[in-house]
A and B are shown apart, each in its own frame.
Chain A
Amino acid sequence: MMIGKTVDDVNVRMPEDTHDTGKHIPTFNAYLVVVVRDSRGNIVKVHRQRSHSPTANFIGLFLPIAYFTSNNVSYTITNVTSGTCVYQPNNTSGAQDISYPNTATNKQTYLVMIQVGSGQQSNPYTATALAAPIANGSGAGQLVYKSAVLPQSISINGNTAYFYVTQSFNNISGGTVTITEVGLLLQVQLTNYNATSTTNCGQVLVWYDVLSSPISVPNAGSVTIYYTFTVNP
């Protein structure tokens, strides 16, 4: 019998009868919350929207070993400067896996920042960088980036589990700065299996959203962004 044919029969589109609509509850959601403060620290705006946009880089990095072995393929990661590297995780020599903390040689894979920008692009999935990143600084049109804060664990509330990352930005540019796009940048380092060699993939855009309305940060004010990822919300 031809089981293989059935396995290869991939439905490219999600079947209509499995859409999470009406009473159905999505199993996973991502949210973007933006809080703007004025020069006195008072909150002047809270913006909330659903986040929809993992990038192709995210999908590639999340794929299981079975994808690479059963199809005998690798995945090309594209970083923010359009550089590329080959990702091919496995448990065999020559495979390129994500680096992990250890007591000897470390090449860190870590969240670089929540990056904000003043541009937008229509296809977030294929985005490899923000359209117009806002630079870190105090010049005109710039924001001072504070460090991103990571979750300490997955939080549980009933059947809901979630984590969030947050980062604040100060505006000392002398004028209003407007944010229209947001992304998560991951520094990716690959380590060869059964070897000491590593590959620096650089900074990789893994999540990207265009804001549903622009956010204006007043001079001497600040903005804090929360990215929340949750299951069974």
Chain B
Amino acid sequence: MVTPDLASEDNIAKLIIPDDLPDEPSFKAYIEAKVYDKEGHVIQYHRQPMRSLTQYFLALMSIPIIGTYQGPSTNQATGPLTNTLSLPSEVGAYGTGSANISWNFSILLGSGTQTFSPTLTSLAAPIANGSGAGQLSYGSVLATYSGTTIYIYVTVINYSSTTINVTEIGLSATVYIQYNASGNNYASSQYNYLMSYDTFSQHITLLPGAIATFKIALTFSG
């Protein structure tokens, strides 16, 4: 029993993020890196918990929870989409046309470090895609899932002649909104977000010619 005058609306609002419940996480995530030498032998293996999701992860995750519309009779996008992801409240469309939204994930690697903030938008020092000094050649991003776990992978190759140390990693999302612009003409806009940011507890070293696979696993407890 709760005494009525001890629980005002303000008090209730403070209850929405309880800090006194048993530690039974709803979610677990980890990052994994495997480095291979030129002969394909694993020469470094590293795995650590992933800790730092940004507000953009939460905003994107809101789509399969609360949808894209504010309600059944409005044509306005939800607050997390417009106010956090800065997506349009509604896009222009023509005649009987309509609009749709989709998204993809990728893995970003960097050679810097920075203090985490839920509003971070980029790595401190992203490693560019290429074969020049300090660059890595990124393969296609793969994704799969098993039960409540989603896995995202990317393989990179160091074609440069110098050693590259990977010190930071992020999960990013590209959101696509497509709409019927005129007649049978369709247009698409895309938006990029940093969904997580972590620094490696020990850097990942890629010697010249080395290949590395980075994996991010997101497990909703189910």
Interface flag for B179 (CB, 8 Å): yes
B177 contacts A100, C-beta separation under 8 Å: yes
A65 contacts B104, C-beta separation under 8 Å: yes
Tell me which residues from 140 to 196 in chain B have a Cβ below 8 Å from any Cβ of chain A: 140-153, 155, 173, 176-180, 186, 188, 196
The A-B contact count (CB < 8 A) is 353
Counting chain B residues whose Cβ lies within 8 A of the other chain, the interface size class is: 35 or more
Interface string of A50-64 (1 = CB under 8 A from B): 111110011101111
Comparing A133-141, A159-167, A170-178, the segment that makes contact with chain B is: A159-167
A117 → chain B, closest Cβ, in Å? Answer: 19
Interface flag for B130 (CB, 8 Å): no
Using CB atoms and an 8 Å cutoff, list the residues of chain A in contact with chain B. 1-3, 6-7, 10-12, 14-15, 17-21, 24-31, 33, 35, 42-46, 48-54, 57-59, 61-67, 70-71, 89-91, 95, 97-112, 124-125, 150-154, 156, 159-165, 184, 186-188, 190-194, 196, 198, 206-207, 224, 226, 228-233
The answer to whether residues A104 and B155 also contact, given A43-B7, A124-B222 and a CB cut-off of 8 A, is no
Docked CA distance A178–B204 (Å): 54
A136 → chain B, closest Cβ, in Å? Answer: 15
Q: Which of A59, A61, A154 has the largest count of B CB atoms less than 10 A from its CB?
A: A154
Q: Which of A45, A66, A67, A95 contacts B1 (CB 8 A)?
A: A45
Q: Which of A58, A66, A190 has the largest count of B CB atoms less than 10 A from its CB?
A: A66
The answer to whether residues A20 and B47 also contact, given A59-B145, A59-B150, A154-B55 and a CB cut-off of 8 A, is no
Interface flag for B202 (CB, 8 Å): no
Docked CA distance A230–B83 (Å): 17
B55 contacts A161, C-beta separation under 8 Å: yes
B41 → chain A, closest Cβ, in Å? Answer: 9
The residue of chain B having its C-beta at the shortest distance from the C-beta of A147 within the complex is B71
